[in-house]
Structure 1
Amino acid sequence: MTDWLWARSRAARMGGALIGSSLIALAIATPAFAQAADPAPAEEAAEEPVDIVVTGSRIQRRDAETVGPLLTLTADDISKSGTASPGELLQRLPSAGVSLNSNGTQGTSYGAASINLRYLGGGEGSGNRVLVLVDGHRWVDAVGQRGFRDFVDLNTIPMGMIDGVEVLKDGASAIYGADAIAGVVNIKTIQPFDGIRGSIRAATTDKGDGEEYTAILNVGKRVGRASFILSGSYFKSQPILTSARDLTTLSLVPVTTPGTSPNGLYILPGLANNAYFGTAAGFGSSASPIAFNGGAGYGAGSLADNSYHVASLPGDFYNTQAQGIYSTGPSERYGIYGRFGYEVTDDINFHVEGLYNRRKSNQLFSPVLLDIGGTAGTVRGFSIPNGHAYNPFGTANGVPVANALAFAANSAFRIRKVMSDVGNRDNRQDVETVRIAAGLDGGFELFGNRWSWDMFGSYAKNKINSIALNGINYDNLFLGLGSPAACAAVAGCVPVNLFGPMTEQQAAFIRFTTRESNYTELWNASVNATGSLFALPAGDVALAVGYEYRRNKGVDNPDPIANAAPTYLNGSLYTKTTAQTRTATSGSYDLHEVYGELSIPLLKDSALGKALDLSLAARYSDYSTVGGKATFKAGAGYRPFDGLLIRGTYAQGFRAPSILELYQGARQTSFHGTDPCNGGAAANAGKPGCAGVPAGYNQINYNLNGLIPGVISGNTALKPETSDSISVGVAITPLSGLSLTVDYYKIKIKDAIAAQSATQILQLCALRSGVFCDLVKRDASTGAILELLQGAQNLNSISTDGVDATLRYDFRTDIGKFGAVLDASYLGSFRTVSPDPATGATIIDDRAGKGDQPRSTYPRWKGQASLSWAGEAVDAVLRARYIGKTTDIVNTVKNARTSAVTYIDAEMGFDVEDGRARFGIGVNNLFDRAPPASYANAPINYDIYTYDARGRFLYARFSVKM
């Protein structure tokens, strides 16, 4: 990789700003770069122009104004943004959709962070249609608690090694290869320097939780032809409980029937109207389940029933949402990055770099919600004999044999209970990332012009070891509830009490810890060359060519015990534990790619305009899985006169199915979703797929808070998806410091690889019945969803369009420099078109303006604004971030919309020792705005991948340069 690929020059900032619109200034204290039309200060004008490469092109040039919409963030921007990671900063951009973040307890983040541009990432905000590069090269894929991923986890990149970020917001598959359909994020690393740079940051909410601590230390040294860089980064955050915020304390879904609690809900046939126990008619029946009164034990003999009562509201209401659950989970990361560079000759440079990053994170959930029985319950086939030690209605509790009750496997007994005696479920991740890379670069003469070349190779591995504490071993529970003789015959078996409080010995016997691991690997090698072919009247025709080889691999090792068949329970129907099972996965693919890019100047200072430049690119990719594909890109920039640039691009995209999409082993999961058959068949007469569902049925009464059990699996029959994208825009700079950029984009993905959401699948089943209901398995007696199948498939298409606009004004006064920015993004449409097997027609789902599905908020308007001031030794900024309104699902609790929200941030900084040190203090969410309430996102009640529930967040930062 040549030095120009990392060049940090004022020319780069000026060129990047003109093409890229000044989005970053919305999140920084001082404007980071100027429009190219601005006159340079005298000391800058004297500098020798530097050839650069910016994201979106591989051609070195001094004028990069013809590439697509580009956003540039500098290290200074990041440090003054009020954020602690590039992921947090990038997710604030108006062009960013739902993305994984630290709000992982109610979702699938598990400590990872993604960037999802244009909402085009895969399910759950994964960002798998955004290409993330580091110094122009690919980064290894993410891992996760439930298998590896197919996107980059930004938390595997230490903050200290980052010198800046460039975001290209149009398709670039022809330039960078697959996955660049929605755009490209290029993270630029720190460059050779002499000295020490360090910073520390501490932050907390005004409620005293969610504390964050960050430290960075970079050391650089040049010695003759050699240069050394060593960077260390550390980050730690503390949790925030759901009970600590009003919005997240209690689910918006109203409780209409007694729910499960540690006191249990019991359906016990034979107990109703029992003369010996003196119970009333219906006592302990399915219509009148009973709950334990509480206390240390239950009454003996005929008094056993006095320890239970018919469950009713409000007395038996229990809020699982407030029982020690993390709204934001804790995380700890540390990383070390080193780089050694050496000028082998005047024309050849060598560098080698290494990285180690480690993350530890965890999420705390409510205890297991047990639901077992004989012929009732979610997991069936259990039995409790009349001689069981903890059967309050059995002989061990003083009941005569003639009156003792047993609950057989062929009877409809059912026990539901929050297993607080076992403990809160706790998922913990230990993620290690290792990367080694080396490169050569240099120059040579060809066609009478200076050319540059580079060679690069890297190996990276991302691995996770994870555990999930405090699950339940159904096999052991089966033994502990069953025959005393059978239990005694198994070493370590302990009779289990589900009718009252457990002992620690009992809890330990049925407690299960899931242990699993997975990893991804990336081998990457490339060769590139760029230079001028010949001269035209308007300038040189430049060419870039290259070859790239890549091999991706993923291996998933699920827990062998969790995935084993039960020994005692009916293994053909149920799993051995409460852990989500999945089959092991191992898959890989490799590919060879060649590309070429041309930059052709057609006009310069002519009667027809100041400049007209054409950019052309083509790439051919040959995958071992899906074969070969060629993609093309064309762009043009026309400047009729100073102060106006008209630009446009057309790009073809290509994305082969990932290892995850192809080979992912079938795994159990729990979906958030709303069952359209709630209320039963009678209440949904117009929905044929609800036939047979009993009256009064409500999914919220099953599983934990109505979560829908399901299975996700890969699909080896997937085809590649392709895309066409266009962007057309203008950049207007009527006077120094004032600029307006407006860009329209439209992207259409054909044969799109996607999976329909659980809610979509349920709606299709309810409204259309037939083949759609093959994906939904219900309990015939209760209507409860037992399993929902979701798998990746090639849908007909996904298309989206919208407009980005930025208005910026920078000016100087006697009291300092001011900067004002207003940036907005409008989402015109986001349509998914999928086939309808029932009719042969298509189903169109337009998500723009909607938020009626869990973790899927698509506001039409998003924006940021900032007003900054920089004096001689003091600077300040006021920032605003706007997320527009969306729809919500129709409900009886609130109106069917999610309100717009505006967050206000402020920061002030003070320079010390002539700028060698800086102290900054700030507050995010100054007015303590809570996320807008969303019924669709119950029980957490807001979209965790779009909003932030921390509230007012205070921070202080100190940095030094020596």
Structure 2
Amino acid sequence: MTRGLHRMPVLNLRALRAGTAYAALLAGALATPALAQTATAPAAQAADAVEEIIVVGSRIQRRDADGVGVVTTITEQDLKNSGAGSVGELLQKLPSAGVSLSTNGTQGTSYGASSINLRYLGGAEGSGNRVLVLVDGHRWVDGVGQRGFRDFVDLNTMPLGMIEGIEVLKDGASAIYGSDAIAGVVNIKTARDFDGVKLTAKYGATTHGDGQSYSTMANFGKRFDKSAILVSASYVKDKPILTTSRDLTRVTLVPVTAPGTSPNGLYILPGLSNNAYFGTPTGFATSASPVAFTAGATIGSGALADNAYRTASLPADYYNTQAQGIYSTGPSERWGVYARWTTDLSDSVRFKAEGLFNQRKSDQLFSPVLLDIGGSAGTIRGFSIANNQPFNPFGTANGVPTANALAFAANSAWRIRKVMTEVGNRDNVQDVKTWRIAGGFDGELNLFGREWSWDVYGLYSKNKIDTQALNGVNYDRLALGLGPNCATTAGCVPINLFSPMTAAQAEYIRFTARESNQTEIYDFTANITGELFQLPAGPLAIAAGVEHRKNKASDSPDPFVNALPTNIPTPASGSAFASNTTTTAQTRIATVGQYSLNEIYAEAAIPLLKDVPLAKTLDISLAARYSDYDTVGGDSTVKVGVGWRPIEDILVRGTYAQGFRAPSILELFQGGRQTSFQGTDPCNGGASANPSLPGCTGVPTGYNQVNFNLNGLIPGTISGNTKLKAETADTYSAGVAIKPRFAPGLSLTVDWYEITVRDAISSQSATQILNLCAQRAGVFCDLVSRDASTGAITNLLQGVLNLAEIKTSGVDTTLRYDFSNDLGKFAAVVDASYLESFKTTSPNPAGGAPIVDERAGKGDQPRSTYPHWKGQASFSWTGGSWNALWRGRYIGSTTDVVNAVKDAKTKAIFYNDLEGGYQFERYDTAISVGISNIFDKAPPASYANAPINYDIYTYDARGRYGYVRVSAKF
């Protein structure tokens, strides 16, 4: 087995410095990580007893599915009634789900992917990397992304038609399934074999006239004498919702206190202040009083050039980037085919072969590039504009005498900020293809005089993404077009940044970054299960198995993006005012990594008592697993469960499980990459406004983060860490399940859980890093770089470390009642989760007591909403051919950032859905009409999530949504 790290040649010096500098910082310089986020779903139900079944959370076949683990089952009918257009949308509505990637909006890092994050325990940005996602009990390939591969399963790689049901185990299962199962397990169950054709079509749209969604599924099945074939084809298309289409998202909640970047530009041009030739006043075009171009004006020649410019001010120079075609929910198109063939090779041996192809196309539209360049000022430095540049209004080309002409040199503190509307809206485009082939044998054999079941299974799967980042700016060409060498360079187009550009100029500097990355998985498993011998209370059943797995990933950034510029001074040239950046695209070190492992496990179900006083039954389940990784070595985990029925109506259950998660390829090997963080800078207002924050020393008075970059987004670098070790966990759960015989159809479950993750692999949020720097200064500020003259953050370094401990606890409860009368069949479900605590404890780099961050009940960080209460309920009726359903969903209140615009609270919200349908006898045709969010509730406003003003991974801005669904069977 090969230990997995190969890195391609490093071309971008800044990215390299950022990626390696992190390892040189003190491990304790990072404190509490920003974790997780939220979602929502239909009424699910607890698993009922079924004949001879394997329920997720156990490999043992048994007749009693009322196991000691907390399992939620989502049926095929639940899938149909949910109104959801994807597996992720359905799972994210579960009360136990935390912040999960969704909506494909411009804000966030979904890039068209969808994840499930149970118990809020996934990594930052709702990645779900502590949830194990299986398909029919087997692993699925990791996801890919716009800016590098992922370390969690992208649920949008699964064609919807292949799915017949879902099981969710909400406690640790590493001893049974291995790494990644710390927060729980989601098992996707594929469609069963059948004869005939099943067709489903659905159309939906919001009452705002957008967000249209189309989906079709066609399943064909045929059973033969000893074999069966199933083919499923799915197609889903979702159209976008713009931020301008909803009141909440139209304008950022953060007040604009100074003129920001606009198409009219903000110009700081040394030499114009108190210039006698141009007749400008003192302070004109200085950093304190930048000037803007007057839209529609004509630049006068010679001394009249300055007349086209005026001191920028509000509201005249207010510009709303949110109104520039930005997606609140982006478009996505997915189609996929799944096929399975099974055959009986003998009376006791069967063979199965499976194949899948899925393709997703998605994109996110952003406002045009917010250019910020200059000589010794600006975000990207080292540019120069000669006094004879063709479009320099203060130069000789505009009739200014040589003695009076102004040049703007690379060592001069000039600066131009401008929204590049002529270049067009930036657009990130993804094309994701997923392949999967798998097959295996299963059967029965006789051992020790008893029947045993066995299976062997192998799979290979690959995820590959090709991305484009359209309408960026080529800084190298821009520098050439502004500089003195343009006239002597073939094909060069002189650039005008002082007034609107021509189409030819925009085309010359327009840049499209093209990149790709991929993930692969090879997996082989073998299992056996059966009854070893008979005990007085029943048979002792066991399961055992082995697994070998290899995961691989590679990332191929655009080589030109990572190359050093040739027309801008670089550090290699020794220039004090230099740039490593060739384009507006974010740099990233190309990376290839892999790891391999071998595992062995055993599980036992032991009946201790049966039909004795105070013990209708008493059962124990035991499991143990040993995992050996070529990256972090070996470790073992165990799980113990107890189920006690004092009487038939009551099951008292409890589990203890050890968890184990090896660091992913992404966490280990990811090269330094540029990114933009959403967060709040505590140094807003400058040092004078924050005298109690030592880390704000030197920040100029009046500094406001929102005036820099895109709506105040923070430029930064993310890096992997090859020194990581595996994280471990302890999960405790205890609960009761009640099914009273005097009330058939009534059931109540209440389960408490506590999960502690040690050596947790995580990173701080941008806000946490900034707060530590502001409050403590010193080593805490080593991760934050600022421009000394403006206070603007130029780079924030975020990496992964084994960050001490995460501890969460809470209670899940489900009440269900099914009954019938003369009016028909009724089913009522109430499902709720209470998050008691979500606490991260990290070492204090300054010494002293550890740093503790309690997140439960808070929503004061971007895309990190942790309400104490979440719940859903449903009430359904079926009478003859008619049916109706009501669904309700509740997300509790949380805190918000303290601010002057609204109260420091994000309000609770309750959604209501209705659906009705009719079943025709002919072809089992069913027609359903539904309305989701019937009262058109907008997400609660959140200052922490400006500029989009709501947590896109917890709520959606779709509003009232109507749909029609038709299905038939032939």
Structures share fold, TM-score greater than 0.5: yes
Query: What is the match of residue 632 of structure 1?
Result: 638
Amino acid in the other structure paired with 1:792? V
Instruction: Report Cα offsets for 1:68-88 as digits up to 9, x if no partner.
Output: 100111111101111111110
What is the CA–CA distance in structure 2 between the aligned matches of 1:599 and 1:198, rounded to whole Å? 41
Query: What is the match of residue 953 of structure 2?
Result: 945
Contact 2:816/2:828 (CA < 8 Å) preserved in 1? Answer: yes
For normalisation by structure 2, the TM-score amounts to: 0.94
Provide structure 2 residue ranges, at least 5 long, that are not aligned to the other structure: 1-38, 572-578
Query: What is the match of residue 98 of structure 2?
Result: 97
- The question of 1:459 aligning with 2:460 is answered yes
In the TM superposition, 1:284-363 aligns within 5 A as 284-295=285-296, 297-363=298-364
Amino acid in the other structure paired with 2:904? A
Instruction: Report Cα offsets for 1:388-428 as digits up to 9, x if no partner.
Output: 11111111112222221111112111100001110100000
What is the CA–CA distance in structure 2 between the aligned matches of 1:786 and 1:795, rounded to whole Å? 25
Contact 2:861/2:944 (CA < 8 Å) preserved in 1? Answer: yes
Question: 1:34 Cα deviation (Å)?
Answer: 7.8
Q: 1:616 aligns with which of 606, 618, 622?
A: 622
Query: What is the match of residue 249 of structure 1?
Result: 250
Instruction: Report Cα offsets for 1:845-892 as digits up to 9, x if no partner.
Output: 010000000000000000101111111101111111000000001111
What is the CA–CA distance in structure 2 between the aligned matches of 1:632 and 1:788, rounded to whole Å? 40
Question: 1:35 Cα deviation (Å)?
Answer: 5.2
Contact 1:65/1:637 (CA < 8 Å) preserved in 2? Answer: no
Which secondary structure does the structure 2 equivalent of 1:379 belong to? Answer: coil
Contact 1:377/1:414 (CA < 8 Å) preserved in 2? Answer: yes
- The question of 1:272 aligning with 2:286 is answered no
Which secondary structure does the structure 1 equivalent of 2:562 belong to? Answer: coil
Question: 1:33 Cα deviation (Å)?
Answer: 7.3
Query: What is the match of residue 784 of structure 1?
Result: 792
- The question of 1:577 aligning with 2:583 is answered yes
Query: What is the match of residue 864 of structure 2?
Result: 856
Query: What is the match of residue 934 of structure 1?
Result: 942
Which secondary structure does the structure 2 equivalent of 1:613 belong to? Answer: strand
Amino acid in the other structure paired with 1:609? A
Question: 1:448 Cα deviation (Å)?
Answer: 1.4
What is the CA–CA distance in structure 2 between the aligned matches of 1:509 and 1:35, rounded to whole Å? 65
Q: 1:674 aligns with which of 673, 676, 680?
A: 680
In the TM superposition, 1:77-92 aligns within 5 A as 77-92=78-93
What is the CA–CA distance in structure 2 between the aligned matches of 1:870 and 1:850, rounded to whole Å? 41
- The question of 1:27 aligning with 2:42 is answered yes
What is the CA–CA distance in structure 2 between the aligned matches of 1:102 and 1:571, rounded to whole Å? 39
Query: What is the match of residue 496 of structure 2?
Result: 497
In the TM superposition, 1:588-737 aligns within 5 A as 588-734=594-740, 735-737=743-745
Instruction: Report Cα offsets for 1:343-382 as digits up to 9, x if no partner.
Output: 0000000010100000000000001101111111111111
Deviation larger for 835-844 or 464-473:
835-844
Query: What is the match of residue 436 of structure 1?
Result: 437
Instruction: Report Cα offsets for 1:177-217 as digits up to 9, x if no partner.
Output: 01000000000001111000010000000011010000000
Contact 1:386/1:405 (CA < 8 Å) preserved in 2? Answer: yes
Amino acid in the other structure paired with 2:106? T
What is the CA–CA distance in structure 1 between the aligned matches of 2:52 and 2:72, rounded to whole Å? 19
Question: 1:67 Cα deviation (Å)?
Answer: 3.1
Query: What is the match of residue 127 of structure 2?
Result: 126
Question: 1:840 Cα deviation (Å)?
Answer: 4.7
Amino acid in the other structure paired with 1:921? V
Contact 1:103/1:945 (CA < 8 Å) preserved in 2? Answer: no
Query: What is the match of residue 747 of structure 1?
Result: 755
In the TM superposition, 1:498-517 aligns within 5 A as 498-517=497-516
In the TM superposition, 1:30-179 aligns within 5 A as 50-179=51-180
Which secondary structure does the structure 1 equivalent of 2:825 belong to? Answer: strand
Question: 1:740 Cα deviation (Å)?
Answer: 1.1
Query: What is the match of residue 562 of structure 1?
Result: 561
Amino acid in the other structure paired with 1:435? R
Contact 1:536/1:601 (CA < 8 Å) preserved in 2? Answer: yes
- How many residue pairs match? The answer is 923
In the TM superposition, 1:344-383 aligns within 5 A as 344-383=345-384
Query: What is the match of residue 18 of structure 2?
Result: none
Which secondary structure does the structure 2 equivalent of 1:561 belong to? Answer: helix
Q: 1:759 aligns with which of 761, 767, 773?
A: 767
- The question of 1:488 aligning with 2:503 is answered no
Contact 1:26/1:821 (CA < 8 Å) preserved in 2? Answer: no
What is the CA–CA distance in structure 2 between the aligned matches of 1:25 and 1:417, rounded to whole Å? 40
Which secondary structure does the structure 2 equivalent of 1:380 belong to? Answer: coil
Amino acid in the other structure paired with 2:436? R
Amino acid in the other structure paired with 1:694? P
Distance change >3 Å, CA 711–CA 797, structure 1 → 2: same
Q: 2:846 aligns with which of 838, 855, 863?
A: 838
Query: What is the match of residue 407 of structure 1?
Result: 408
Q: 2:820 aligns with which of 809, 812, 815?
A: 812
Query: What is the match of residue 17 of structure 1?
Result: none
What is the CA–CA distance in structure 2 between the aligned matches of 1:34 and 1:704, rounded to whole Å? 49
Instruction: Report Cα offsets for 1:80-132 as digits up to 9, x if no partner.
Output: 11111111000000000000012431010000000000000001000000000
Question: 1:26 Cα deviation (Å)?
Answer: 7.3
Question: 1:64 Cα deviation (Å)?
Answer: 2.3
Which secondary structure does the structure 2 equivalent of 1:390 belong to? Answer: coil
Provide structure 1 residue ranges, at least 5 long, that are not aligned to the other structure: 1-23, 37-48
Query: What is the match of residue 40 of structure 1?
Result: none
What is the CA–CA distance in structure 2 between the aligned matches of 1:32 and 1:528, rounded to whole Å? 28
Instruction: Report Cα offsets for 1:198-247 as digits up to 9, x if no partner.
Output: 10000000011010000000000011101011110000011111100010
Contact 1:619/1:630 (CA < 8 Å) preserved in 2? Answer: yes
In the TM superposition, 1:880-891 aligns within 5 A as 880-891=888-899
What is the CA–CA distance in structure 1 between the aligned matches of 2:420 and 2:915, rounded to whole Å? 46
Question: 1:56 Cα deviation (Å)?
Answer: 0.5
Distance change >3 Å, CA 100–CA 923, structure 1 → 2: same
Once superposed, which parts of structure 1, at least 4 consecutive aligned residues long, lie more than 4 Å away? 31-36
What is the CA–CA distance in structure 2 between the aligned matches of 1:25 and 1:771, rounded to whole Å? 41
Amino acid in the other structure paired with 1:491? A
Which secondary structure does the structure 2 equivalent of 1:747 belong to? Answer: strand
Amino acid in the other structure paired with 2:265? G
Q: Which has the higher contact order (CA 8 A, sep 6+)?
A: 2
What is the CA–CA distance in structure 2 between the aligned matches of 1:342 and 1:379, rounded to whole Å? 64
Question: 1:781 Cα deviation (Å)?
Answer: 1.3
What is the CA–CA distance in structure 1 between the aligned matches of 2:242 and 2:304, rounded to whole Å? 41
Question: 1:683 Cα deviation (Å)?
Answer: 1.3
Question: 1:491 Cα deviation (Å)?
Answer: 2.5
Which secondary structure does the structure 2 equivalent of 1:341 belong to? Answer: strand
Amino acid in the other structure paired with 1:506? Q
Query: What is the match of residue 887 of structure 2?
Result: 879
Question: 1:490 Cα deviation (Å)?
Answer: 2.4
What is the CA–CA distance in structure 1 between the aligned matches of 2:931 and 2:448, rounded to whole Å? 57
Contact 1:35/1:733 (CA < 8 Å) preserved in 2? Answer: no
Query: What is the match of residue 928 of structure 2?
Result: 920
Amino acid in the other structure paired with 1:794? N
Distance change >3 Å, CA 51–CA 25, structure 1 → 2: farther
Q: Identity over the aligned pairs, expressed in percent?
A: 67
Contact 1:382/1:409 (CA < 8 Å) preserved in 2? Answer: yes
What is the CA–CA distance in structure 2 between the aligned matches of 1:278 and 1:668, rounded to whole Å? 43
What is the CA–CA distance in structure 1 between the aligned matches of 2:164 and 2:325, rounded to whole Å? 39
What is the CA–CA distance in structure 2 between the aligned matches of 1:190 and 1:821, rounded to whole Å? 25
Contact 2:283/2:289 (CA < 8 Å) preserved in 1? Answer: yes
For normalisation by structure 1, the TM-score amounts to: 0.95
Which secondary structure does the structure 2 equivalent of 1:27 belong to? Answer: coil
Query: What is the match of residue 895 of structure 1?
Result: 903
What is the CA–CA distance in structure 1 between the aligned matches of 2:547 and 2:363, rounded to whole Å? 37
